[in-house]
Structure 1
Amino acid sequence: MKHEFISISREQTIALGKRLAALFNLGDVVLLTGDLGAGKTTITKGIASGLNITEKVNSPTFNILKIYLKGDKPLFHIDAYRLEDDKKDIGLDEYIGEAGITVIEWPAFIKHLLPEKALEINITHRDLTSRNITLKGEGHYADVVKVIAEEFK
């Protein structure tokens, strides 16, 4: 299932992340794509907030992986932008689909580690504050997309 909508503000993108968090199960994987500055980390902040994680969430570009354990469910936030060589996965497979929610920015760089099914979210700039957001998923993730489609039009 696929759903597209326009987020008119950073706050609406965070609200989307919060709502998604309520729909996630342990082991769920979210693949975030979009240009630099599109809002991938912003939606991750919303997911973290929805999981009641109070730690500051920022892009793990230089760390590659940030782990947030102080919430309702663990959150594993991966930024694969610097992992263009598939031999540099540094054990990330241990976190993908495990006992938490895994959010992966720039998933194309670690295709060999990705599960068959995941929630795919693509974010593109419309203007300074609004974004086109496309969600796509199968199985359980199609159910997630359906709920979001009803609430975010």
Structure 2
Amino acid sequence: MHLIGNEDLLDLRKVAFLCSRRFPHEAAEKAYRWADTQRAAGNCVISGYHSPIEKEVLCRLLQGSQPIIIALAQGLNRLDPAWERHLAAGRLLVISRYAKSVSHPCESKCYQRNKMMIDLADSIVIAHASPGGSLERLCSDYLDKLVLL
């Protein structure tokens, strides 16, 4: 695993957050309320922050001071400049299974990234899993950790 940031965050209790790219409006509202609760409670959330809901959850979490782990489905060659101050503050860790030469995520890399996140997490929160989609298939192997919003 490749990483940039505070490695000690891996030792914390972590909740993985995932959501399919296509989702009902109600899932978004629940996810945003959940993110605000996690921020207020100071819980460490790990996600790829790739789908639209996941991106908004990251925006909400970055407004707080709790630890965050971002798992990329590509190499660590291009990090968002907005993350710099959070990395410097020690509240952010960016991880990837892929070398810097891997510059674009694809479906299989996203699946492997999600599996890595779930393996690292103590629990999993799913805002929405599209029926028959890869997220639904992946989560079926982790029912003991799973929480649906």
TM-score band, normalised by the shorter chain? 0.3 to 0.5
TM-score, with structure 2 as normaliser: 0.36
TM-score, with structure 1 as normaliser: 0.36
